[in-house]
Structures are given as structure tokens and as C-alpha cells.
A and B are shown apart, each in its own frame.
Chain A
Amino acid sequence: MIGESGVATRLKGTWFGEALSPHASDRLSAIGELRRVDAGAVLLREGAECDRFGILLDGLLSLRVAVAGRGRATLMTVEPGETFGWSAVVPPYRSTSTVVALQPSEVIVFDAEKLRALLREDEALAVTVYPRLLQVVSRRLVATRTQLLDLYARDREYEPW
């Protein structure tokens, strides 16, 4: 475990944390923990309670879902600077995918209950944090749509000539 000041510094270096007010940064850092995980480590499980929100500092994470007959499919990978576990603050607080480290990774994690309590009691903090969370969800949505477009696919169905 690394000290709390380390959390604040690392948080600032991310997209999520870079423009936070000192107040917001302090309050979040207070409940954040820096962790190193090995490749293969499972950080969240699809369908289970989403007990943490996290920011990837280094490494690579995979968001997977189980599909009957097709095993676990990776829907998307998470790059350093990006977040995971937004379900921690969105009811019903259950993970929408399983988060697995693809490489040895370094993350900041925030305990879900503590984070929710903090956002409930500190409106100023909530006003800063929620738009960032919405951005996370919106980016995922836009990316998903783009994937759905299947841009690189063959352009038309097979024609006989």
C-alpha cells in the first residue's frame, strides 16, 4: 500500500482527476487506494455488487461479459487514464461487466459505499464528479455505437456477380 499523498498525486495525473478543485481532490484521495494487480486479476464481476469505482493508471483492463455458448467475450478494453466501475454510483449498483487485468496493472480504487456517502453529503464534490461519470458512460455509449456500425466490415451482402 502506498500513502495517501501518493493517491492525490497520481489522481491529478489522470484525465478524471486533472482539473478537480483541491477540495474535491483531497476528499476523493482520502478514500482512494492505490493497488497493483497481476495479469488475470478480477477487479469486478458482471452481475455482482459493484463495490468499487476505479481509475486505471497503468496496464490494460478488459471488460467482459459472459455469453451463453461463446464463453466470455471482451466487449472493450480500458486504457490508462480511463475509469471502470461506474455502476458503483448508478443504481442498482451491480457491475455490467467483468473487469479483468490483461497486463500487470496499477489502479486507484474507491470503495463504492464510501464514495456514495461522500457524494451524498458533499454537493460541491458531487457537482464536480457526476459530469465526469456521465462523460465516462457517454464515451462508452458512443464507442459502442461505432462498433455496432461495423465500419470495417464488408460493405454489402454477397451478390452473385
Chain B
Amino acid sequence: MTTQTTETRDLEFAVGQLTRVEGEGRLHLRVDAGGGVEAQLQIFEAPRYFEQLVVGRTPDEVLDIVARICGICPVAYQMSGVHAFESLAGVQVDPGVRILRRLLYCGEWIESHALHIFLLHAPDFLGYASALEMAADHRELVERGLRLKKLGNRLVAIVGGRPVHPVSVRVGGFYHVPTAAEFAEIREQLRGVLDEAIQTVALVAGLETPAADRDTRLVSLKHPDQYPMSDGRIVSSDGIDLAPSDWRDAFHEVQVPWSNALQARAADGVPYLLGPTARVVLAAGQLHPVARAALDATGLSLDELRRNVFRSIVSRAVELVHAVAEAIDILDAYVRPERPFAPWQPRAGVAAWATEAPRGLLFHRYELDDEGLIRAAQIVPPTSQNQAAIERDLEVFAPAVVDLPHEVATHRLEQLIRSYDPCISCATHFLDVSIERDR
């Protein structure tokens, strides 16, 4: 759908509905006569009003509601929410429960990363329209992805009840905590796939990867002892350092007319990158040794991961190893917590926290009234934060491909967008901009 507009001689380049991403989005590029590219990632997911839907609700209700923002990473939404509420109420969560939450997060990372690596992104590198088509030639690869993904889902199901929209998370802990016996089988299964996860790192590092080079600012949580999931401080590659509740001190949201999603920006307007690459680079020291070794074995430097956006699949695979290895460690030492949840009292005030969804930092902020009910909410998903970086990268990368045959160019641009593992329906607020208006 390449069209020439005669007056300006600009080249308009449109990619229809993005596929193999979660949610509904479109890409629109405008190339001017001088070769400059303006990129617009348009999100046309229908408005879902989550920030309003939680108003008047109790914190525990909110945890069930915000899970519904995203079917792939519901745990992340529950985790940002639950930590926000607990920090406001001053709940002392039992150590065993905290560990179980990390285990839950490991499950979601395994599930989400395996899905993205094997089912959504690998077909780009190997030249297939889908994993199902890829399976005709690379059945073992797809089966491996499904095996890993299944274990991630299973882990979330044992801790949370089910893989999509788990039911066990509540303020103070869980409704129910599993016995060690319930983990016996998956513990062995995870041991059984650790090698496969490690091999995946080498495999994706060896994929034919487009060249791309640009500098980018990275943002993630960072914790001195743990690989970032729910705890730590918000840091950037250029010196930002904030408590997880203080995201708004350095970032804000803006509305852009060509996209239906609110975008988040740093105070200085410089786009920033969230997600596996940001975490691997910023928290390399906290990676599980097994994961670090797998990364080192590829010979890829942290800087290579940071500068080439197409290498995100490697970061994701490294985190896959980390999540499997950490889950095994947790299960080896698992003792069922004495009590599933700590009691707490609602309190008025602001509850805010950020945790690391599979695709990056996820910030929640709630204002609670005297009864402990939600009065206002702000939910900033990773994709809305990454959107500016995606558009920036498209503008950098597009000039090299727009003159290629349209299908090839489309494929390359989609591959780039998929490198961010965008999670579009998790954008909680959207605008609708028509193509006409955009012209």
C-alpha cells in the first residue's frame, strides 16, 4: 500500500494491522523528499477505560480488574498493584510469600518470553508467517517453545490458579499457598528444560540478525541482590535513580494525535527503552550465574544488545534462562508459608509502585479515600513508554529499507516493532485517529 502524494512528493508507507503482537496497532510512515522519516505507531485498540473502571473499588477488587488489562502479563498488573497497596498500608508481607511472588513472576516471564521468542518473533528471523508454518520445517524448535511456555503457564497456574488472569493474589499475600507436594512434578520438569533454555540463547544469538545501530537510554528496576522483578529502584543508563513509587518524578504521559495510546516520556523528552534488554544490561550483575554464562557464551557484548534492537530476542532468551534457573532455586528451598496472607487495614493516601512486566517497567498509582476505596488511578504500561522509542527506532531504521520491495520492507519494519514485544491491548487508554485525519 505504497502511495505517492503528488503535492509534497512525500512517500506514505503504511503497514496494515500489525500481526503477531498482542492487541491492535498499525504503522504509518511518512518519508519526505529529503529522505527524512516520520514514524507513527497507531494503536486502534478500542478504549477500555481501566483507570475509571477501578474507581470506587477495593484494592483486592482492583487486583482482579487490572489483570484483565493484558491476557499475556496479568501477573505483572497484579504485582504492580499489590505492591502499591501494600506500601501504602504498610503491610509486612511474609518472606515466604515474597518468594512465592517471585516464583509467580518467573512463571509469567517464562510463559511470555517463550511465547514471544518461539511463536511470535522467531518466524521473522527464519522467514515464516507463523510458528505453525514454521513447524513444518522446524518442528523441534516450535515444540521446544511450547514445552517451555507450558511450564511457565503451569507454574503460574500452581501458584495463581490459572495462566490467564490468575486468582490467588491478594493484598498481603495469596488466598491460598501451594504445598511443596504440588510443586514436586514441575520442579523436575523445570530441571529437565533448563538445558533447552540455555541452548535457546545460543540459538537465537546465531540467527541471521539485521544490522542496526543506535544509542538508546535504558530504564529498569535495579536491586542490589536480586534480578529486577518487583523490588528495587527505578534507574536509567544515564543516571535516573528513583524509588519505585516515584516514577512521576522523572516521567509523564502525553497525548499524541496520530496514536490512540497515551505515550510516556521522560521529563527531558528523550525516548527510553524498557524490557529485557534494559534489564539485562542494567542488572547484568544480578543475573543468575547460569543465565550470565549463557549470555557470555554467545560472545555478544552488553553494548551490542543495547545498540541493536533486533538483539532483544537474545536478551529475552537470557531472561528465560534466568527465570527457569531462579524458579528451580526457589522450588529447591521451598517451604510452604505459615500463613497465606498478612492482615492489613485500608488507609487513605497515594499507593504507587512499579514492577517489571515481561516487556518492561509497569507503573501503577492509586489514590485511596478514607474507606480505602479507589478515588483515582493511573496505569502506565510498558508499551506506552516504549512507543516513543519504537517510533524513534523506526525513523532511524526505515531509510535503509523503505526503498526495498514493499513486502520486504514491511517485514523488516514489523520485525523491528516485534523486537519490543509490544503489548497493545495493555495500553489502558486509547485515541482513535483515522488515516484521513492523519494525512
Give yes or no for direct A-B contact (beta carbon below 8 Å): no
Residues of A in contact with B (beta carbons under 8 Å apart)? none
* Interface residues in chain B, defined as those with a beta carbon under 8 Å from any beta carbon in chain A: none
